[in-house]
Amino acid sequence: MKLGIIGTGYVGLVSGVCFAENGNEVICMDVDEKKIKRLKQGDPVIYEPQVKELLGKNISEGRITFSTSLKDTAQNSEVIFLCLPTPPYEDGSVDLSRVLDVSDKMAEHINGYKIIVSKSTVPVGTCDRIREIISKKTKHEFDVVSNPEFLKEGAAVNDFMSPDRVVIGTSSRKAAEIMRELYSSFMRVSERIIIMDEHSSELTKYASNSMLAMRISFMNEIANICELAKADIDMVRTGIGSDARIGNSFLFPGVGYGGSCFPKDVKGLISTSEEFGYDFRLLKAIDEVNVNQKLRFAEKILNHFKGNIKGKTIAVWGLSYKPRTDDIREAPAITIIKKLSEAGANIQAFDPAAMDNFREQFGKIPNLKFCKSNYDALKDASALVLITEWNEFRNPDIDKMKSLMKEHVVFDGRNIYKPELLKAEGFTYYGIGK
Ligand code: NAD
């Protein structure tokens, strides 16, 4: 099939290379000329496992091309995916300007039957709005479909190639059949396509992310109680996760969720609910707990030093919002590093993939230095603060840590270390919910 992808970021590029890999002819379009130039040369721009390899292979086999022309992309594609940013406004409502603007501009170039697919996460009713905008400018037949994306950064290619499910929201039988056909090559083992109406599909994405965010905030609250009650969150987690109705995934407490999706989508659903006259109180609490969890961790560090952290060196391991990505949008590291810097600490940070992004956006935070390796960050440090659980941080050389650090204190924001082991080596250990 001939496919167009508008917006070649995390979702657009992964979708593009995966559709191409499964034999489709894909044009990826973006307004960012520099990005398109790099992509044409096989440079994926983002850090995401497997993307570079798939990109190179599909460019050389001629199944994926890149363009800055909306016109060429729209005219040469049968199915056009909108993979555009939908960031939050200050009040939490969703900024749909790019999605609506591109729909308006694209409408002029429609030259035959097209399916316009929203892969962007958009509030209920957005497909109706896109349909209305396009119908004002074209006489050609077209359908607008909601097809929310559920990939996880860090495992995006695997998620796209073997999805748990593909949700397709459409009231057009013709569009549904074409979409089913397009995704059939991703369903070799079993059929996991769920077809529903547009509104239900749009809401499914927000409900999924909000449910996952709820599990995280819930576990963070339980962890906070554990600390006060001298209970161990790992024991509690194992105890509750063994209930088949609950399940044991997504039950890990930490320093709060971040990323481009959970914070934005929780706020987006609060705002959509308000538009419908509904006060979604639970969602507001999920968001509030999350904001507090990041601050609570920073306070734990400051409390250890009795507020006297000025001039001390603090090593930070991990800047991305989760491992195996360079994405730092809403990363807990931002809040925590800002708090430590405000208190006068010297921060020595290291991340395997996200340092360039962090330097570009937050390089001006006072007393923040970026290091060549995780051990380099430990030189003369009075504490190690582990924020992102990259695999390369899981089994550090304890002797090396001891010799590099000035004071032996570890704040483990992801509970990846064994407290007994570190304590036996003379470290003061702080975890989450322990
Ligand atoms: P992104 O910021 O990584 O990429 C968006 C791309 O769109 C950028 O390359 C940008 O240059 C381009 N763009 C902006 N305006 C444009 C325009 N007018 N015309 C053409 N291109 C334009 O965003 P993303 O993380 O890929 O997210 C895209 C959408 O997918 C969002 O709605 C997001 O909520 C949703 N989503 C993201 C993820 C994720 O893990 N990142 C997962 C599921 C869903």
Cβ proximity of 425 and 410 under 8 Å: no
Question: In whole angstroms, what is the distance from residue 43 CA to residue 51 CA?
Answer: 9
Say if residue 227 is in the same domain as residue 375. yes
Confidence check: pLDDT of 188 > 90: no
Query: Given pLDDT bands bounded at 50, 70 and 90, which one contains residue 263?
Result: very high
Atom 22 of ligand 1, nearest CA residue? 7
Cβ proximity of 273 and 267 under 8 Å: no
Say if residue 158 is in the same domain as residue 294. no
Q: How many domains does the chain have?
A: 2
Confidence check: pLDDT of 329 > 90: yes
* Helices and strands (H, E) in the chain, number of each type: 17, 14
For 206-243, the pLDDT digits (tens) are 999 999 999 999 999 999 999 999 999 999 999 999 99
pLDDT for 261: 96
Q: What value does the mean pLDDT take over residues 252-273?
A: 97
Question: In whole angstroms, what is the distance from residue 213 CA to residue 218 CA?
Answer: 8
Atom 1 of ligand 1, nearest CA residue? 9
pLDDT for 190: 87
- Residue 372 DSSP class: S
Question: Which single residue is written with the structure tokens 């489709």?
Answer: 24
pLDDT for 281: 98
Ligand 1 center to 246 CA (angstroms)? 32
Please give the number of the atom of ligand 1 that sits closest to the Cα of 12.
Answer: 26
For 356-367, the pLDDT digits (tens) are 999 999 999 999
Active-site amino acid positions: 261
| Torsion angle, alpha carbons of 153, 155, 161, 164, to 10 | -90
Residue where a domain stops, chosen among 196, 226, 243 = 196
pTM of the complete model: 0.95
Say if residue 137 is in the same domain as residue 164. yes
SS3 category, 316: strand
pLDDT for 193: 97
Confidence check: pLDDT of 189 > 90: no
| Any atom of ligand 1 within 6 Å of the Cβ of 149 | yes
Q: Whose CA is closest to 46, among 327, 317, 395, 249?
A: 327
Say if residue 164 is in the same domain as residue 214. no
Cβ proximity of 283 and 314 under 8 Å: no
Question: In whole angstroms, what is the distance from residue 324 CA to residue 344 CA?
Answer: 30
Cβ proximity of 16 and 94 under 8 Å: no
Say if residue 81 is in the same domain as residue 114. yes
pLDDT for 94: 97
Of the chain, the percentage scoring pLDDT greater than 90 comes to: 99
Task: Assign residue 232 the CATH number of its domain.
Answer: 3.40.50.720
Say if residue 210 is in the same domain as residue 190. no
Say if residue 211 is in the same domain as residue 184. no
Say if residue 39 is in the same domain as residue 154. yes
| 346 beta partners | 313
Say if residue 131 is in the same domain as residue 246. no
Tokens of 207: 């409900």
Element (H, E) at 18: helix 10-21
DSSP state letters, 94-140: B--HHHHHHHHHHHTT--S-EEEEE-S---TTHHHHHHHHHHTT--S
Question: Which single residue is written with the structure tokens 């002029």?
Answer: 108
Show the domain range for 301: 198-434
Residue where a domain stops, chosen among 196, 213, 248 = 196
Residue where a domain stops, chosen among 151, 176, 196 = 196
Say if residue 227 is in the same domain as residue 150. no
pLDDT for 58: 98
| Any atom of ligand 1 within 6 Å of the Cβ of 153 | yes
Confidence check: pLDDT of 396 > 90: yes
Dihedral (CA of 72, 76, 80, 83) sign: negative
Q: What value does the mean pLDDT take over residues 146-172?
A: 97
Q: What value does the mean pLDDT take over residues 11-18?
A: 98
Say if residue 73 is in the same domain as residue 17. yes
Q: List Cα–Cα distances, 315 to 170, 184, 309, 330, 380, in angstroms.
A: 50, 48, 13, 20, 9
Please give the number of the atom of ligand 1 that sits closest to the Cα of 148.
Answer: 44
For 342-358, the pLDDT digits (tens) are 999 999 999 999 999 99
Please give the number of the atom of ligand 1 that sits closest to the Cα of 8.
Answer: 9
Q: What value does the mean pLDDT take over residues 78-97?
A: 97
| Mean of the per-residue pLDDT values of the chain | 97
How do beta strands 64-67 and 25-29 pair? parallel
